[in-house]
Amino acid sequence: MSRRPVIGIPTQTLQAIDGIPEGLPHSWVMNRRYYHAVTAVGAVPWMVPLLHDDLDTLREIYERLDGLLIAGGVDLHPSQFDEAPIPELGRTDEARDIVELQLVKWALEDGMPIFGLCRGLQVINVARGGSLHQDIAAQVPTAAKHDYFPTAGFARDHHAHTVTVPQWSILHAVYGATTFPVNSMHHQAIARLGEGLLASAHSPDGLIEAVETPGGHWVLGVQWHPEMFEETDPRTRQLFRSFIEASNSFGEAHRPPGVLAPR
């Protein structure tokens, strides 16, 4: 029997999302859509706890993964790219920042496939030394609206704008088009592109909406939330399937012969 690839999906701190007062015991949670999206295309999701103060255990978890999915969520703290917070900065999650940046750095070093969604795109960029606009409206006055949040009455699958992608990109290979619509639920965006990353999608106002790496390593970060379309759009499901296929290939290449259990 073949082994299904294991995909690590880091959690987030409940208090960072809901503003639960500090001092109470923390819980780690994550939207189930991310786990369903990878399960639907043949992978085994692994909820990664935010062991930011126990990197030895975090590394042991990492060694058992075949791919890494970094999900959406709260803002990255600007200290991670050497900036002071501006008033428009939203809630942050220091433990999540530390864990996700470390996992992405390990995966980039090892060639493990990485799929970053919304915040995940930003994590990949910061892990490579890039920076972010802490708030698009405050720092990029020429930009269009990108914060179509459900809390403001917008559906999570609302097509907010289009993106344009180059023909060499993973996105073009999957979608078979240079332009297609996406949803948009973010108020931060890439400012300085990280070292070794290629911008592989732009919104009509010029903001970077996706990044990849050259050389065949399956790394893709997108600024939208494709997990909202995985069940209804065959092309989006194929995008997740492409990630899982790359993760399976990585796992087979790094797993000892005959071993079906996690490496």
- The catalytic residue among 52, 77, 146, 225 is 225
Instruction: Catalytic residue, from 100, 212, 227, 245: name it.
Output: 227
Give catalytic status of residue 161 as yes or no. no
Determine whether 231 is an active site residue: no
- For every residue of the chain, DSSP letters joined together read -PPPPEEEEE-EEHHHHH-PPTTSPP-EE--HHHHHHHHTTT-EEEEEP--TT-HHHHHHHHTT-SEEEE---SBPPGGGGT-PPPTT---B-HHHHHHHHHHHHHHHHHT--EEEETHHHHHHHHHTT--EES-HHHH-TTS---B--GGGT--TT---EEEE--TTSHHHHHH-SSEEEE--B-S-EESSPPTT-EEEEE-TTS-EEEEE-SSS--EEEESS-GGGTTTT-HHHHHHHHHHHHHHHHHHHHHSPTT--S--
Residue of 100, 118, 133, 212 marked active site? 118
Reply yes or no on whether 225 is catalytic.
yes
Catalytic site residues? 118, 225, 227
